[in-house]
Every structure is written in structure tokens, then in C-alpha cells.
A and B are shown apart, each in its own frame.
Chain A
Amino acid sequence: MHAFQAYQAAFTAHLRQPSLHAKPAGVDAKRMRVYREIVFNNFEASVSACFPVLRDILGPRRFSKLVRQCFFSQQFNSPLFKDIPGHFVTFLRAQIVADLPAYTAQLAHYEWIELLLGQQVDSATPDSVVEHFTQGQALLHRVVQLCGVYQLLHYDYAVHLLSKKTEYGGDDTHVFTGVSYARV
């Protein structure tokens, strides 16, 4: 390893986990703080944007602590910014933290999948009339076409009902997420 690379390693180790890794020797402490704040705030903003419900339930401080843990313990192998929330989901799935609600990882996954599918919605699908059917037999008289982008998922918790007000939405839910409309 070159000398400049040893310095770089100390630099980023400090940015990721300042509580454990001291700043590189000889650098200005006040200036280093600028990097600490910018780098983590940018990362946290990229994560937070995807998980408004989870952040709301946990509160900003607990959420931020999780983001920090993710920042220093996770592997980030994608240069694409849109993949950052996916790294956070992977991180949460590997966590066994006593003071977190049991549904944390599943709620995060649900919020992430919504965003992911939103980015993939097939724009080639022509505009169509959207109708809501309340009776199953109506489907006998219609041609139903599903959106080209969807996932059928099973969660152990009713993640789609969770919010700060209804922290616990009930057990076991199947979620058909995507744009689940019927087209005539």
C-alpha cells in the first residue's frame, strides 16, 4: 500500500465511524468536521428519502443511528445512487437488535420495493381507463391487464398498514405491490 493510500484509509475510516477511528494525524480538526458532516448528511439524505414511514415510527435519532451503523458496517458495491436504499435494506435484514420493532426490516423492504417499482413502471403502457371493481364477478365482463412491473410479496406483518399512529398493523400479510389496477 502506498503512503497516500494509508492516509486515505484512515480518512474514510474516520468519516464512517468517528467514534472508533481517530482522524488522520496532523489534519485540521475543524476542517475534518466539515467532511464528517457533509459526507454523512448526504448519505443519510439518500437513505431517508426512501423510508419516510420507518423514519417516522423510529424517530429521527434512532433512524440516524441505524444509518450510521449501516454506513460503517455494510458493503457498498454499487456506484449508482438509486441503489443506496437497497444497501440499507440488506443491512437491516442482517440486524438482530433488541430495541428495534420486529417488523423493521420488512417495513423497510416494503418501502424500498415501492420506490424500486416506481422507477421501473413501464412507460410503454398506453394510458388507459382505470376502474375499481368491488365485485369479483365484474371481472368476467372485462379484459384485465396488469401493469408490467409488479411483485407479489409475503410479509410477516401488515407492513402496508404501519404508520406512527398504527405502529402495529397486525400479523401476516400478502401484498401485491406495483400498480395493481384493472384495465378495460
Chain B
Amino acid sequence: MAQLTDIRGAGLGLKRELLPQLMQQHGQPPLAQLQFLEIAPENWIQAGGKYAAELDWLIAHYPIACHGLCLSLGGPDPLNVGFLQQVKQFLSDFEIPLYTEHLSYCSDTANGYIYDLLPIPFTEEAVKYVAQRIRQTQDILQRRIAVENASFYVAAPLSEMDEISFINAVLAEADCDLHLDINNVYVNSVNFGFDPYAFLDQIPAQRIVYGHMAGHLQVEANLLVDTHGEAIIDPVWQLLTYAYAKLGVFPTLLERDSHIPPLPVLMQEVDRIAILQQQAQTIHTPSLDKVA
């Protein structure tokens, strides 16, 4: 059975179109640094036929983390308890040690799901509301979850605090973990003109379960869109290097959702994550090296 400690090193967010290559190249040198995978439960729950067989293969060959998309922690409608029960069963059936979600919402009361991640206004009321729903989620799942800092493009005029204050207030109020998306920190820092390094300085390191890296699209000088469709740019790599130095090394995976190159090309970015992790560990554990 996969344990939380099996989610380590460098990983990759799994898109279904990558599966044939993954199955074929598994165990070969270009994939040597690939230590875990991430799937969205919304894409695999109730998977029948060949999808079920693919899932069995994945579980047998890699530690898997679940990263949800549609729980709508900040949504106005009641939490979908039936869906959460399905998630619970799914995590249990496939012995998946980790479930994370987004600090956002993807539903409304008028029509239900809208299937995209929208920004929660940063208010005191929203902190309490979201934290309560995270606690409810943790109670139902009978496990801790982590929430991810989301990328966004529109600042709500009614916000009462900045993003990092909102995140920290929610984490403390809900007592949950953090899924740290480095690219989202960078995207938001450009879109809203803040210092991403100062943002990272305020992250509670002990709550981080794992991290995300991804590429984005530059639409204008001060507008980045979080497409996961491009190569990771240098400033985001520098931010990850800083995060490892400041917060300690955490498991990190590459997200790539569109314009997906062949797997060996993707692996170059996964490899670079692994190298940064090794370098950070070398710098930060001199005493351990001496003992060894």
C-alpha cells in the first residue's frame, strides 16, 4: 500500500494521452527520475472498461496523489457529500495516500457546476466559510487534505486582505495542509504586482505536502494566464530554487495540460526538478553528509 511518504521526489501530472507512452517507457532510463504521478479523481471515478485497467496499471507502478478539481471549497452550494463519499471510496479502493483540492470555487446556486476554478474574494467571512468546508471535508474523508493556492486574473473589489494572508488564515482556521503551486505564485505576482519571494517567505513550511510546477502564457506584460501549455520559464525555476532553500525540499511535480510534447521531452523538466531537489538537499544537509 502506498504511504504518504511514497509521495516524494519529482513527479508528473498524468494526462490520459500520456498513458501509452508511460506504459511503454516505464522502467527505461529517461523515466528514472519519475517518482510519483497525480490524477484528478473527477476523471477516474466510475472509470470502467479500459480506463479501469489503465488505473490498475498506474496504481501498480507508481505512487499516486489525487488532485481534485470540482469540490468547490469556496462555492455557495452545500458541499457535495455524495461526491465526497465517492472520493473516499476511490482513495480507499486504490490506496491513494493523498488528496488535495483548490482554494477556489467552481459552482453556483443557479446552475450547479461551472467546471472551472474561480477566485474566492479574500474576506474574513470567506476565510471562516471555506475553513469550515475544509474541516467538513476532512471529517467526511477521515483524513487531512491540502489546499492549493490558485492562479487568478481578477481582483475582487471587496477583498479585505492580500492572497497570502487569506491562505494563511484558511490554513490556520481549517488546520489543513498546503499544496504549493510555484507557478501560481509567480503568475499572481505578475498579475497583481506583488513580490513572489516575499510571498514565499510567509508560507508555513510545515504544512506543505507537495508542490506544482508549470508553464503559463504571457498575454500582456502584466497578464499571465495559467495554461499549463508552455515550458517552465526561468523566473519560475528560480522561485522553486528559492522555495527549496527557504522552506526545505518538498515533493514537486510538473503539470502539463496542453501542447503536450513527447514524454522524454517532458521528462527534461521533471529531471530539472529532481536536480534542484538534490542540490538543495546537498546544501542544506552538510551535517548529515558528514555522519554518512
Contact = CB atoms under 8 A, between A and B. Distances in A.
B292 to A, nearest CB: 47
A32 B118 CA distance: 11
Contact of A4 (B70, B123, B153, B225): B123
Contacts of B108: 8-9, 12-13, 16
Contacts of B80: 79
Contacts of A136: none
Interface string B122-140: 0101100100000000000
Contacts of B126: 2, 4
Nearest to B115: A43
B152 to A, nearest CB: 9
Interface string A1-22: 1111101110111011000000
Interface stretch (B1-9, B44-52, B170-178, B242-250): B44-52
Nearest to B108: A12
Interface stretch (A49-57, A70-78, A99-107): A70-78
Given A9-B109, A9-B110, A13-B108, A34 B225 contact: yes
Given A74-B111, A79-B42, A121-B48, A34 B153 contact: yes
Contacts of A120: 48-49
Given A9-B109, A80-B46, A122-B49, A35 B118 contact: yes
Contacts of A34: 153-154, 219, 223, 225
A73 B110 CA distance: 9
Contact of A32 (B50, B75, B109, B154): B154
Interface residues on A, range: 35 or more
7 contacts: A1-B76, A3-B158, A7-B156, A16-B108, A39-B118, A46-B115, A76-B111
B118 A12 contact: yes
Contact of B118 (A11, A118, A119): A11
Interface stretch (A23-31, A126-134, A137-145, A163-171): A23-31
A4 B158 contact: yes
Interface residues of B, number: 48
Contact of B76 (A9, A26, A81): A9
Nearest to A73: B111
A128 to B, nearest CB: 16
Given A8-B75, A123-B53, 12 more contacts: A3-B123, A3-B125, A4-B121, A9-B76, A12-B110, A16-B108, A27-B155, A28-B155, A34-B225, A80-B43, A80-B45, A119-B47
B116 interface: yes
Interface string B45-70: 11111111100000000000000011
Interface in B84-132: 105, 107-116, 118, 120-121, 123, 125-126, 129
Contacts of B72: 79
B68 to A, nearest CB: 9
A171 to B, nearest CB: 33
A30 to B, nearest CB: 8
